[in-house]
Structure formats: structure tokens, C-alpha cells
Chain A
Amino acid sequence: MQPLELSAVDLVAALRQGDVTAVQCATAFLDRIEATNPAINAFLHVDREAALSRAADIDARRRAGKPVGPLAGLPVALKDVLCTADMPTTCASKMLAGYRPPYDADVVARLRRADAVFVGKTNMDEFAMGGSNENSAFGPVHNPWDHSRAPGGSSGGSAACVAADMAPVAIGSDTGGSIRQPAGLCGITGLKPTYGRVSRRGLIAFASSLDQIGPMARSAADCALVMETIAGHDPGDSTSLTTEVPRYTDLLDKPLTGVRIGRVPEHFAAGLDPEVAKGVEEAFAVLKAAGATVHDVRLPHAKYGIPTYYLIAPCEASSNLARYDGAHYGRRETALAGGHRETALAARAAGAAAGFESPLVEMYCRSRAEGFGPEVKRRIMLGTYALSAGYYDAYYAKALRVRRLIRQDYLDAFQTVDLIGGPVSATPAFKLGEKTDDPLAMYLVDLYTVGTNLAGVGGISFPCGFTKSGLPIGFQLQAPPLAEPLLLQAADRFQRLTDWHRRRPKAAGEGRA
């Protein structure tokens, strides 16, 4: 029994049947992390002792015939944007280095109750801002398929750790594509649920009206399994939906006969890598062969997706990140450290000479200047500017109006089709450093994914082929609000007919086929 080779669904079954113990399972993945992570840098924190003791406890309960949760013993990696009471939570930012929240995020609490075993916290773009994981204050993640390439972002660590078999399941967050794009670039399956389906409580906010948590795993079936635990109403999140959570795993095995899939012609315009285009067209062919029909649909306002997203997200971010001011927790830089009156007065004079209005303002400025990376600062400045008096109507208010149009496009399209398919990203994984000097080029990596978030609907990304150089190509399906069962069903059907999702990267492989 080699736990690394099993899907999450099979692993949970094997654990239940006693074919493998939780400790054996945790040990296998922790060993794998130890061996592989130095090259990949997918984890910011691994707590081997805690994971093993948790696994031992689950084994003991199971042996004693006591009840265990539905995911008992399943190793899970958590994006470091999720608050964990027993592990540091940093958002890959110097600002929160060493920060330990006093509470668990709702998803973390749900997974704990389900007896999942947390192996660690995964690397990401700082505060989930980025599409390559290069914005981490703790170093970039390397794509397991080619270590010189980016894994995508911002959930790059979560994607890479699943691709490199360091965890069967990881939890990510998706604000403009941050689950689907790295899933696509790393050859795994990632689901961004409908806004409100998974509670955001304890998810450190980037852009509150767009953020959504979702599962990242090797297959749609594994994502379905995890969704059954993490989805559901949370009275602590006013925006979480009250609709009952279906048994996603029971709804998978249905034929796609008669399912109408939309294809947006604009998605195949200039800029789309030909190999990606080919992979995506082949995926449509597979879905057709499975009984689905494909129809052209229009999303007339999709072209405004990127500018709309890059107004709304930074505006909300500029406010969400205001709390990192050095006053209550996190990084504090101040000239006033130390209590002697003379030192303090001298520091105050120095601060005033440096142009700071007051020691307090100096603390804010220095803490934020030192604590945040350049991309985070860029977005805070963009958002602060766009919300300023005199600019609000031209930027933020207009962006909100366009957002409503974009949502309406989707709702209109879903009158005639059940799903919308297409590429996840225009290109396969790009080289580390390739786009770091060009923020605009980097923003365009979200081109095909931001619409889902702006519309508040669900989307799934899964591998549909490989380039000649061996890089995964991702396919994306988007669905109407709360149509996760159909998304998962279609992706699962695709994965029953193909084996792209079973391929493992050689670069990260150790004695694996």
C-alpha cells in the first residue's frame, strides 16, 4: 500500500478499511515533503510532530471503535491565507511573519471535525496577490513539472504540493483565478465554488466580494469529496449561502448526455498559445464524445473583466489591508522602540526632521513600507487612489456597474447553455522571472478566470493535455450559481475518459511512473 499513489477518495476508503493507518499515511506524505519541498518550496510551515500525533489519535479512536470523521486520516495542506490556531498564518508576507491567529478558519474547523490531518501551510503570493507565486516574501514556488517555471498563483504552493504528491488534497483560495490558474499550470484539478458556498470566516481577506475558498486535488472526484466537508452555511459569514449542501460524490456518475457546453469564440483570439488552443479544442471533443453538445456563446463584457477586476480587487484590498498598521500585531517598525525619555525625544525629532507628521504616522509608514512587498503596495496604492474623493465615481462606481453587466452576461449565457468551457490560461507555465518586471503582463494571466469571480459563479480547472515540452494544459468549465454538482460531474466524466490527471511530473517523481 503506497498512500502517495492513491486518490483522496481511495485513500479515505483505504484508511476506513484499515488497509493503511493514518500514521502510515501521514508519514508517507511528510517524508515526501521532506524530500521534495526543498526543491519546490511549496510549504511555508510543516508540523510533522502535530500531524503524526493527530494521525495517531485518529488511529487510536478507530481501533477503539469510536466515531471518526468522514475524512479521517486524510492529509490536507492549507494555503497560508487560512487562519489556523495551531500553526503560524503569514499570507506569505513579512508583515505577518510568525503571526499565530487565536482561532481556526471555518474551513479549517470543518476539516478538523472531519478528522483530516493537516500537514502544513502552503506558499502563496503575498496576501494572495499575484499569478505566479513570485510575490511570496519567502521565495517563489517551483513548478514540479519544470523547476525553472512558475506554478501559477496565488495558490501556487497548494497546486505544486498536490502535483508533487506532497499532499493528496490542498485548500486554496480564488479571487481572480488563484485556484484554477495554478491548478491548470500544475496539471491538477481545482474548484472555485460559487461565491458564498464556502465560508470566508478565517480566510485572510484580499478582496472580500471576490474571495472564495475551494479544494485542489488530483481529480474532480477528490474535489467533490472535500467539498462535502468544507461547503455549507456559516452564521459567522453573512455572505455565506444557506442552500443545503448536496452529496457531491453521489452526483458524479451521471452521463453528460444533453448537457450543453458553451464555447466563447473570443477565448480563441490572438494571444492564446496554439498548443493550449489545441488541447482545449480536444477537450471539447472529449466532452462531445461523452454526450455533451457544444455551442458558441457570447460574453460581450468579458473584455472589461481585467480592468474591472483590477479596480474592484485593489479597492477592497486597500481597505482590507489597512489593519496591518503595526499597532496591534504583526510587524512594527518604529523609531520609538525603547522607553527612555531622551531616546524617545531624539527619535521624535529625527522623525519630524524626516518629514513624518507624528511618531504614530512614522510607525505606520515604516511598518507598512518594510512589511509589504511591492505588488501588495502597488495594489494598495491603486485601490486607495481609485476610492479617493473625486475618483470614486469614475473608477470604483463604474467598475461595480460593469461588474453587474458581466454577471448578467453569464446569467444570460446560462439561459442557453449549462456550462461554459475554455482555456484557463493563455499559455502553459511561464518561466520564473519572465513577467516579474511587467505587472501588466502578469495581470493578464487572469484573463480567462476573473469573469467567474466577478460574476460570483463557480469554475473548475483540470488538465486536458500537455505541451510538447511536457507542461500541463488546463481546461476550465464555468457554471451557473450553485451548479457545482454539474461542474464536478462534467470534470469527473472527462477524467473517466482521459488520463491527463493521472500523469505525474518526472522532475518531482521518485521511482514513480
Chain B
Amino acid sequence: MSDATPFVTVIGLEVHVQLLTRTKLFCGCSTKFGAAPNTQVCPTCLGLPGSLPVMNRRAFELAVRAALALDCTIAPFTKWDRKNYFYPDLPKGYQISQFDLPFSSDGHLEVVDPKGAFAPRNVGIIRVHLEEDAGKSMHDEAAGTGDSRIDLNRAGTPLCEIVTQPDLRSPQEARAWLNELKLLLVYLGVSDCNMQEGSLRVDANVNLHIPQPDGRIAKTPIVEIKNMNSFRSVERALTYEAARQWEEWRETKAEMGKTPKQTRGWDDPAGVTRAQRHKEESSDYRYFPEPDLVPVTVSEQDVAAARAAMGTPPTELRRALETTWKISAYDADVLVNQGRDLVDYFEEVATKVGEGKVASNWLQQDVLRILKETGGSIADFRVRPAVLADLIGRVTRGDFDTSRGREILAQMVADGRPLDEVVAGMGIAAVSDDDVVSLCRELLADNPKIVADVKGGKEQAAAGLIGQAKKKNPNVNPGKVRAICLDLIRAMP
């Protein structure tokens, strides 16, 4: 409970992620997003009479990988169940899902804010199960005829449902946790977690715990929020809903358990949650074991194989970057949050440069800025790690200064030419020490006042020389110019 609010917001999440399989969960149709409606379908995903499902092993492997990364226990025996309900985008009239024996349960995922916006939060995972997605309904309310159009391309896409314990304590935490979950799943190669394309969907359960004067904790009725299409809207919806429940509590003093769980939809443009019709919540799904599929047994070897395919998850990677490259937790967080490709890029640069901090600075201050401006990804970034390392090395050696280095980087990004060519093209031929010395002698001759000031003990006056040096020869290293000028002045009689 924060000082500002007289209640604790208690949040649990239900996340659906589409798995990155080439084909659907129970048939061979493509899962590619964006095809013309109803072109990626077959008798099985259309639910035609007589069609049968056959499990996609790959989907199961990916799901096990995700569950292991969430530290879940993998069941040695799991089965499929039918969840029965009528809807036009559910062509069989039932969804093949998992009811009482999910393939995994009892895990957790921690979220840490490196800037300490909230205390580290370890969120329990109740279960992760696998199921098939439904199709998509497009309602044409405007036409007034009530026509709806159904696209079954999505029907049968493998979905992992991840259900958390009600362990989150603020909308901000919920958003951060979702970011962490997404990052993990993307690292694992399990899902692309693209919310725009619907490959990650979130429902949230929320209520308030309100301490009473008598020491009792009053709990407001749990509300499930649906229709949130970004992590930002999850945070906004939860913030709105907590405030709404507080107002409602103040008016009604209604507590949990007296009414059935309410479902509310998030209206993003209006910024409010709205109650959904009562009918939709009281469904009885009449679950029973799916007779068309055989139960799945998962051996220790299967689990070991999934673990081997897991790679390094973000939390471990952050720690590894901190210790190997001596960078701060914050820097490690920024780099890791950009994804595996950027981390690989960083490690290659850091290895070649032989130092982590400088590589991290270049990535954060320059590479990420450029990527943000151009909207590109690190995988397509023109300047490969070896070249960036070369550039950083030259700056460190003093061939040119950092700002010159930045210009060179920008130029390489712009026209894709090799480093040496860009350097030559910009006239940044390395300046010989003799040239620098003669340049400095000229400067000293032209600036008796500065010479006098320095002699009088004001070394900072030498800065005035550097600007002039750069004008005469833009390629000179300012540090070098300064050092040589000072040496020359000291050597003066």
C-alpha cells in the first residue's frame, strides 16, 4: 500500500501467446499472419464433419520450453479436453484445450525495476497450458443488418495460456511484468508476442484489498478486464479500474463473494471499463476429455531437450553481462531488453574492443538512437560489430575524437561504405605527430595572449587553441593538440 492510496490493488493476469510454429496445432495449415481470409484452412481447422486433429509436436516442444523458462513443473502425463461453447468463429462448437491436467503448473517469473520504481516482484504462475485459437469475427454493426464476417485462418493456431497468481500489486508492476514475460518468450523463440497481430493477448483480474479500522481486510469483488490491446492499455485499464472499484466501494461497501465475477471490457478511446453482458460470464463449458486425441506422455529426455533448446533467459543474461563486462545493472537491463540480437552485437563489439563500458555506451548512445530514428533493427544494422569495434578503437587510440567518431558512424549508416573509405572521404586522414607539432607552433605564434595566460598558470586558457586548431585541420585530435601546446609553452624560455 502506498502512502497515496488507502488500498492495495491486487492483480492476476491471464496471458495467451501464439506459438511460433509454422503450422497449426492440429493440422498442417500455415499460421502466417495477414493472408486473405479463409485461405489457410483445411477440413480439420474448419471443423468439417469427419475431420480429426493430430497434435503438432513442435508446438508442444515450444510450450514446454516456455513453461520450463517460467520454472514450471512439467507433468509426465497430460491430456486434451474439449471446452464446449457456441460461437461462429469456433467451427467445431468446442475448443480443444486442457482442463484438469495441464502440461505444466506451479512456476514463477520475477520482475525487477533497475531504477527501483517498485520492489522486485516474484509472480507465481498457476499453470501454463496449450490450446487451439479460435477464428476471428468481424462485426459489421454499421451496416445495421447485423452481418458478421468470419476468418478462420487463425482457427487452430497454437496458443499457450499462462495464468498467474494474484501477486501483482500495481498497474505499473503489471505492465513491467508483461514486458518481462514478453522479453522472455521472445528470447526463447517461443512467440513473437506481437500484440498488434494478436499473438499476445492479456486479460486481467483485479480487486482491491482495503484495510479496515478493525484490522480486517475488506476485498472488493474481482473484475476481469478484457479487450486490452497494448501493455500501455493494460496499465491504463487497471489504473482506471482500481479507481472505479474504490469509488464503488465507498458507495456500496460491496465485498467479494456476494456476486459472481464480473467481466468488463476496456474501451481504449474512452479510457473506461464497461460491464459486459451478464450472460457471457455464466457459461458452462462442459469440459470432457477429447476422445480424438491420445494423452501425451513427457519423458525426462523430452524435458532435457526442451531445456537444452532454452538458451539463456533474460534474467541470467543480465547478470552475465554485469559480471563479464563490468557494466551496471541498468546498462545490462537496457541492452538485454533490446533482445538477443542486440546482446550478441554488444558482446561481439565488447570482445573486440576489450572493454564493456565503452561498447555499452556506444550502443546505448549511438546505435540505439540511430535505430530509433531510422526504425531499423539491429539485425539489419549496416555497421557490423567488427566495424564499430574498429571505430571505437580508433577513437580510444586518439585518431579522432568522439564527436568525429559519431559523424563517421552516421556516415557509414547513411551510405554503407567501409570505415576507411568514410574516414578518407571526410578528409580524416590521420594527422602525423610532426604535422600536429608544426600546427601547434603556428597557433602559439598567433596567440601570444593565450601563451601568456597559460604561463601565468591558467592552463584552461589552452582551450582557446583547440577551436582554432580544428578550424585549420579538422582531423587533429583535440587532446593531442592541447597536450603538445602545453608542452611547447612549458618548454618556452
Among candidates A91, A204, A357, A364, residue contacting B279 with C-beta atoms closer than 8 Å: A357
Q: Name the residue among B47, B50, B82 with the largest chain A CB count within 10 angstroms.
A: B50
A-B CB proximity, top 10 nearest: A322-B93, A209-B291, A387-B286, A208-B291, A202-B50, A204-B49, A344-B145, A327-B88, A83-B50, A341-B144
- 14 A-B pairs within 8 Å (CB atoms) are namely A89-B50, A103-B48, A105-B50, A200-B50, A204-B50, A205-B292, A209-B291, A237-B52, A238-B55, A315-B288, A319-B288, A322-B93, A325-B93, A364-B86
Question: Is the CB–CB distance between B51 and A201 below 8 Å?
Answer: yes
**Whole-angstrom distance between the Cβ of B228 and the nearest chain A Cβ:** 25
What sequence of 0s and 1s flags, for each residue 280-299 of chain A, a beta carbon within 8 Å of any chain B beta carbon? Answer: 00000000000000000000
B284 at the interface (CB under 8 A from A): yes
A388 within 8 A of B: yes
Say whether A328 faces chain B, with CB atoms less than 8 Å apart: yes
Q: Are A101 and B43 in contact (CB under 8 A)?
A: yes
Q: Are A83 and B49 in contact, with the CB atoms below 8 A?
A: yes
Rounded to whole Å, the gap between the CB of A491 and the closest CB of chain B is: 29
List residues of A (388-404) whose CB comes within 8 Å of B's CBs.
388-389, 392, 396
Closest to B292 in A: A208
What CA separation (Å) do A387 and B284 show in the bound complex? 9
Partner of A323, one of B55, B93, B144: B93
Contact (Cβ within 8 A) B294 A239: yes
User: What's the nearest-Cβ distance from chain B to residue A284, in Å?
Assistant: 35
Chain B residues in 8 Å Cβ range of A101: 43, 48-50
Complex-state Cα separation, A208 to B92, whole angstroms: 14
**A103 close to B43 (CB less than 8 A):** yes
Q: Is B362 an interface residue when CB atoms closer than 8 A count as contact?
A: no
Identify the closest chain B residue to A200 (Cβ): B52
A392 near B88: Cβ-Cβ < 8 Å: no
Q: A238-B293, A319-B288, A388-B284 are in contact. Are A201 and B146 (CB under 8 A)?
A: no
Which residue of chain B lies nearest to A103 when distances are taken between CB atoms in the complex? B43
Q: Which residues of B contact A209 (CB under 8 A)?
A: 291
Q: Cβ of B43 and Cβ of A328 under 8 Å apart?
A: no
Which positions 29-56 of chain A face chain B at CB distance < 8 Å? none
Cα separation A359 to B140 with both chains bound (whole Å) = 14
A residues within 8 A CB of B150?
327-328
| Minimum CB–CB distance for A67 against chain B, Å | 29
Residue A507 CB within 8 A of the other chain: no
Complex interface: chain A residues within 8 A of B144 (CB): 341, 344-345
Give Cα distance in the complex from A116 to B54, angstroms. Answer: 28
Asked whether, in the complex, the Cβ of A344 is within 8 Å of the Cβ of B146, the reply is yes
Tell me if A339 and B88 are in contact (CB < 8 A): no
B49-61 vs A: 1/0 string, CB under 8 Å?
Answer: 1111111000000
B94 touches A322 (CB 8 A): yes
A319 surroundings in chain B (CB, below 8 A): 82, 84, 93-94, 286, 288
Greatest chain B CB density within 10 A among A96, A236, A344, A359 is at: A236
Question: Chain A residues with Cβ under 8 A from B84's Cβ?
Answer: 318-319, 322, 387
**A322-344 interface mask toward B, CB cutoff 8 Å, 1 = contact, 0 = none?**
11010111000000100111001
Min distance, Cβ B260 to any Cβ of chain A, angstroms? 13
Report chain B residues within 8 Å CB of A387.
Answer: 84, 286-288
B94 touching A205 by the CB < 8 A rule?
no
- Interface flag for B91 (CB, 8 Å): yes
Instruction: Give chain A nearest CB distance to B339 CB in angstroms.
Output: 37
Contacts of B388 in A (CB 8 A): none
8 extra interchain contacts, Cβ-Cβ under 8 A, other than A101-B43, A327-B91, A339-B147?
A200-B52, A203-B50, A237-B52, A323-B49, A325-B86, A344-B145, A384-B286, A396-B288
List residues 255-311 of chain B with CB under 8 A from any CB of chain A: 279, 284, 286-288, 291-294
CB-defined contacts of B145 to chain A, threshold 8 Å:
336, 339-341, 344
Query: CB-CB < 8 A to B292: which residues of A?
Result: 205, 208, 238-239
- Which residue of B is nearest A400, CB measured? B289
**Contact of B146 with A392 in the complex, beta carbons under 8 Å:** no
Residues of A contacting B279 with CB < 8 Å?
357
CA gap between A357 and B280 in the complex, in Å: 11
Interface residues of A in 74-125 (CB under 8 A from B): 82-83, 89, 91, 96, 99, 101-103, 105
> With an 8 A cutoff between CB atoms, is A348 at the interface?
yes
Query: Are B92 and A323 in contact, CB atoms less than 8 angstroms apart?
Result: yes
Chain B residue nearest to A342 (CB atoms) is B144
Cβ-defined contact, B146 with A359, below 8 A? yes
Q: Does A146 contact B (CB under 8 A)?
A: no
Q: Is B93 a contact of A238 with CB atoms below 8 Å? A: no
* Docked complex Cα distance between A323 and B89 (Å): 11
Roughly how many angstroms separate A207 CA and B288 CA in the complex, as a whole number?
A: 13
- Is B181 an interface residue when CB atoms closer than 8 A count as contact? no
Contact partners of A340 in chain B: CB under 8 A: 145
A360 interfacial contact with B, CB 8 Å: yes
Closest to B84 in A: A319
A129 CB to closest chain B CB, in angstroms? Answer: 15
Contact partner of A89 (CB less than 8 A), chosen from B46, B49, B91, B93, is B49
Closest B residue to A384 by beta carbon equals B286
Q: Which residues of B contact A202 (CB under 8 A)?
A: 50-51
A235: interface (CB < 8 Å): yes
